[in-house]
Chain A
Amino acid sequence: MLRHIISILIENESGALSRVAGLFSARGYNIESLTVAPTEDPSLSRMTILTSGSDEVLEQITKQLNKLVDVVKVVDLSEAAHVERELMLIKVRATGKDREEMKRMADIFRGRIIDVTESTYVIELTGASSKLDSFIAALDAGLILETVRTGVCGIGRGDRILKV
């Protein structure tokens, strides 16, 4: 069960997202995260799906996605060199000695504090998903008030380009 990042270029039509999401649920494929937004060409959206499965399942996922009429291109980014990033906003309790500790942790992970109140910080953190996981693991769970993550987005390295 390997982790795969599937990138999709899809016509920016209403309902396009539900076609992809519906395909995954109907065929029992796993979605760990999904992000979608228009590209520089507003008629196209780029979708990134983090999924997992055996080679056979991944082959089917790619083929089934390609079969959707609105899908222009599909690529399994994790097949070759790529970079991936995820953004997290995490709200933590920041009082007493924890206040200094939180600041230090944010610095260590190269996060930025983007909202400050007397008792809370909101820390913005970007990186591979594993880095965000490590940050959460490094904090005292009782101090985490809220987390929100965008899900993974990724791009091929160098000449690997996904474009129409």
Chain B
Amino acid sequence: MMISGAEIVIRCLQEEKVDCVFGYPGGSVLHIYDALFKQDQVKHILVRHEQAAVHAADAYSRSSQRVGVALVTSGPGVTNTVTGIATAYMDSIPMVVLTGQVPSFYIGQDAFQECDTVGITRPCVKHNFLVKDVKDLAITIKKAFHIASTGRPGPVVVDIPKDITAQMCEFDYPKTIQMRSYNPVVKGHLGQIKKAVQILQEAKRPIIYTGGGVILSDAAEQLTRLAHKLNFPVTNTLMGLGGYPATDKQFVGMLGMHGTFEANNAMHYADVILAIGARFDDRVIGNPEHFSEEKRRVIHIDIDPSSISKRVKVDVPIVGNVPDVLEEIMKLMDGGFKTDPELGNWWKQIDEWRGRESLRYKQSEHIMPQFVMEKLYEVTGGNAFVTSDVGQHQMFAAQYYKFDKPRRWINSGGLGTMGVGLPYGMGVLMANPDAQVACVTGEGSIQMCIQELSTCKQYGFPIKIINLNNGMLGMVRQWQEMFYSKRYSQSYVTSLPDFVKLAEAYGHVGMKIEKPEDVEPALRKAFTEHKNDLVFMDFIIDPGANVFPMVAAGKGLTEMILAEDL
């Protein structure tokens, strides 16, 4: 039976078991929206700005094992998605973005709402397509899902001209797909794995350093088993939080620019680093010259060969799917594996570093942001999905909310996109309808996608917004305080709205919390009495609170500024 291109698009989504798309209609996608209207298998979430559609689809992926989908119109619809696509790309999030395009016979003529979508998105997608023939439509969408979700995942854009969505064609959705140019390696090289096991056995001061790759490949269970078998310390990157239980005694905390004293020292002085799904980026290892001063051996497991030996020379590269490689390692270990006796001394050293209590902070008469995070953890029993924006609050959430499970910590690590928190909450709730979702944000970030409060009202998303309000762009202010002689250039946010009234204007519950003793009751009320409401909690926090420890830009990983030094 012949069906229209628009109907093919929807049928493809149904075949991929997509239960919802986040989008915004417009001229070039009207046929698709009409096809969407005629069915009820694929739900549509109408956002208030296309950027939010992509962020929500991104969080849908991050918080589940499925691929998020966004649908937008041509021209400005597409340009508005670019930030969201780049955000997903930097964190390797699988996502399919369907974009309308002007009719194919108008392309290149500066038509109304035309832009070069493939050109604009090319540097920030895993791959993109322009569909030129309705006969290619189904296979292209199949390829898009395949490419997005396999290998090192990433966003894929499919640009569909309007005339293609009107043309009629037989629908035939391929079950599988073969591409001669795209065959990611999934099985780790056995010889390399053997070498790795040998090195792990000889390690005197080892550390397991894991990143977002463990989350994306759903390897948390294997990682935990392996770490327990080895009795090695484990540190996570910002993207890797939840990949290993934060309450486990082998966990030394997050590492990097705002990592713990013990994590950064253990990483720096380790003689063997087992890196898993992480990429030694600048926020993690600090100054690379300083980092390379210590002699050590590095084993690196990653699905993406280009992440290996990119910034740090690797001795044993293992390209493959993380959980499978970890299983292989454990299989080899069963043949008689003994850790080095010096491991005990290494743990003693780590415990000494832990004794510095680098996350300790002073209470003040004001609400301390760290305190809010600790209370949030208590009140939610550590079970919430925490989305965050970007800045000090993001680091406080990462440091003080102890993530025991993967896919619970949803933030923009690579691109560092302010404004993601609220739409991320929407995406999490579509993938996990019964979840508790806390959006940890600041008065700067939240205003970058504030319009989504309206979407949340429409669909009843009961997000709990934890606004850590210090009246300043906190992280910018922190750097200006420390490195620019307190010249607070443009870091004050004056004329802030009354967030309580704002929340109420959108039909939500607003609360303003100004005293430390009110923090816990407010959170409890929000998560119980207002369980089904969106609650905007405006916490007026200590304006001087800074994030510590801190490795200043250009400094070595062990050259941390600690709160106690000040």
CA–CA, A77 to B539, complex, Å?
62
The reply on A26 being an interface residue by CB < 8 A is yes
Stretch of B67-75, B303-311, B401-409, B528-536 lying at the A interface: B303-311
A16-50 interface (Cβ within 8 A of B): 18-19, 22, 26
User: Contact at A67–B304, with CB atoms within 8 Å?
Assistant: yes
The reply on A54 being an interface residue by CB < 8 A is no
The reply on A108 being an interface residue by CB < 8 A is no
Q: Which one of B123, B147, B181, B306 lies within 8 Å of A63 (CB-CB)?
A: B306
The reply on B180 being an interface residue by CB < 8 A is yes
Q: How far is the CB of A73 from chain B (nearest CB, A)?
A: 9
> Cβ of B118: which chain A residues have Cβ within 8 Å of it?
15
> Cβ of B180: which chain A residues have Cβ within 8 Å of it?
72, 164
> Cβ of B130: which chain A residues have Cβ within 8 Å of it?
14-15
Size bin of chain A's contact surface: 20 to 34
The 0/1 profile, CB within 8 Å of A marked 1, for residues 157-193 of chain B is 0000000000000000000000111100000000000
User: Contact at B309–A18, with CB atoms within 8 Å?
Assistant: no
A53-99 interface (Cβ within 8 A of B): 56, 59-60, 63-64, 66-67, 69-72
B120-148 interface (Cβ within 8 A of A): 122-123, 126-127, 130, 147
Task: Please name the residue on chain A nearest to B128 by beta carbon.
Answer: A15
CA–CA, A143 to B306, complex, Å?
48
CA–CA, A66 to B151, complex, Å?
12
Task: Please name the residue on chain B nearest to A26 by beta carbon.
Answer: B123
User: Contact at B119–A66, with CB atoms within 8 Å?
Assistant: no
CA–CA, A70 to B130, complex, Å?
14
Most buried by A among B130, B181, B306: B181
- The A/B interface has a contact count, at CB < 8 Å, of 38
Q: How far is the CB of B118 from chain A (nearest CB, A)?
A: 6
Interface size, chain B (Cβ < 8 Å): 18
CA–CA, A69 to B144, complex, Å?
11
User: Contact at B306–A22, with CB atoms within 8 Å?
Assistant: no
User: Contact at A69–B182, with CB atoms within 8 Å?
Assistant: yes
User: Contact at B122–A19, with CB atoms within 8 Å?
Assistant: yes
Given contact pairs A59-B309, A70-B181, A18 touches B122 in the complex (Cβ within 8 A): yes
Given contact pairs A18-B122, A22-B123, A64 touches B306 in the complex (Cβ within 8 A): yes
> Cβ of B127: which chain A residues have Cβ within 8 Å of it?
69-70
CA–CA, A72 to B178, complex, Å?
13
CA–CA, A91 to B501, complex, Å?
76
Task: Please name the residue on chain A nearest to B125 by beta carbon.
Answer: A69
Q: Which one of A11, A18, A22, A60 lies within 8 Å of B181 (CB-CB)?
A: A11
> Cβ of B310: which chain A residues have Cβ within 8 Å of it?
60
User: Contact at B306–A67, with CB atoms within 8 Å?
Assistant: yes
Give the top 10 A-B pairs by smallest Cβ distance, nearest first.
Answer: A63-B306, A69-B127, A72-B181, A63-B305, A69-B182, A64-B306, A26-B123, A67-B306, A11-B181, A70-B181
Can you spell out 21 A-B residue pairs with CB atoms less than 8 angstroms apart?
Answer: A10-B181, A14-B130, A15-B118, A15-B119, A15-B122, A22-B123, A59-B309, A60-B306, A60-B310, A63-B305, A63-B306, A66-B305, A66-B306, A67-B152, A67-B304, A67-B306, A69-B126, A69-B182, A70-B127, A71-B181, A164-B180
**Given A63-B306, A67-B152, 10 additional A-B pairs, CB 8 A:** A11-B181, A15-B118, A15-B119, A59-B309, A67-B304, A67-B305, A67-B306, A69-B126, A69-B182, A71-B181
